[in-house]
Amino acid sequence: MARWRRILGGAAAALTVAAMGTLMQSSPAAAAPDGPDMVVGGTTATQGEFPFMVRLSMGCGGALYSPTLVLTAAHCVNGTGTNTSITATVGVVDLNSTSKVTRRSNYVYRAPGYNGNGKDWALIRLSSPVTGLATLPIARTTAYDSGTFTIAGWGAATEGGGQQRYLRKATVPFVSDATCNSSSMYAGQIIASNEICAGYAAGGVDTCQGDSGGPMFRRDAANAWIQVGIVSWGDGCARPNKPGVYTQVSYFAATIASAASSLGG
């Protein structure tokens, strides 16, 4: 089963170069046997639509939690500690735009006790604040953990395809824990307490490789964006009966906030 939705190995190295200005749009490719990609079945976002979106040089996404912190997935980083190797690109839909803003990391905090099974969140501290861009608040209760969600990212638009130059977006419906853990879907692999499933039984719309760590979000009671999930894993990309699986942000909200405070964010 294809678990994580990050780019690995040589592809990640290529993406690091691409983020510096040579990223190409994806072209169709044969389906990889183990391969999530990006927002499949989506459309191109407009400039400024999701100002909190972050592209990370290791082949993942993220969201601005604060001007100095990016919330992403634990499986996108190697551990907690000083880290100056990550470049965050923000402020643009087009990764080749001359208007893009970049920041280097200086520290990574990975979820305590992370072992590859749940607890899939991490914070990346930036070397200097990002100003003039909206951040994305996290859900602190389960009030918004159902309904219809928005997903966005720069990963591939087809399973096994290349990464995207332009940010893409789509909407996906909530899938209950009971349904997602049924024999026709993930057969008990979902950690019901702290993972959320979202997608269509028929497939066709999903996050995928290159989207790991990016946010799943929706409107709150005040019609403002609020983050409810972090792109984590899935079986393939937009396959029938294989919805995307996301870290349930509300379950970890207090721990995330505490960690952010300790990092000065």
Domain count, the chain: 2
- Contacts of residue 213, Cβ cutoff 8 Å, sequence gap at least 6: 6, 56, 60, 61, 62, 71, 72, 73, 76, 122, 230, 231
Averaged pLDDT score across all residues of the chain: 88
Tell me which residues are annotated as active site.
75, 120, 212
Q: Which of 34-48, 155-169, 175-189, 203-217 has the highest mean pLDDT?
A: 175-189
CATH number, residue 154: 2.40.10.10
What pLDDT shows up at residue 7? Answer: 67
DSSP annotation of 75 reads G
Lowest mean pLDDT among 5-9, 176-180, 214-218, 227-231: 5-9
* Same domain? 17 vs 119: yes
Residue 162: which pLDDT band, with cuts at 50, 70 and 90?
confident
pLDDT tens per residue across span 190-243? 999 999 999 999 999 999 888 999 999 999 999 999 999 999 999 988 999 999
Distance CA 162, CA 24 (A): 8
pLDDT of 1: 43
Quick one: pLDDT band at residue 38, thresholds 50, 70, 90?
A: very low
Q: List Cα–Cα distances, 145 to 20, 132, 201, 246, in angstroms.
A: 36, 29, 19, 11
Nearest 5°: phi and psi at 18?
Answer: -60, -40
- Within this chain, do residues 243 and 258 fall inside the same structural domain, yes or no? no
Does residue 78 sit in the same domain as residue 15?
yes
Residues 85 and 180 in one domain: no
One domain, residues 17 and 117? yes
Residue 113 φ/ψ region, left for φ over 0, alpha for ψ in the -120 to 50 degree band, beta for the rest: left
Q: Structure pTM?
A: 0.89
pLDDT tens per residue, range 126-154: 999 999 999 999 999 999 999 999 999 99
Identify whether residues 65 and 16 lie together within a single domain: yes
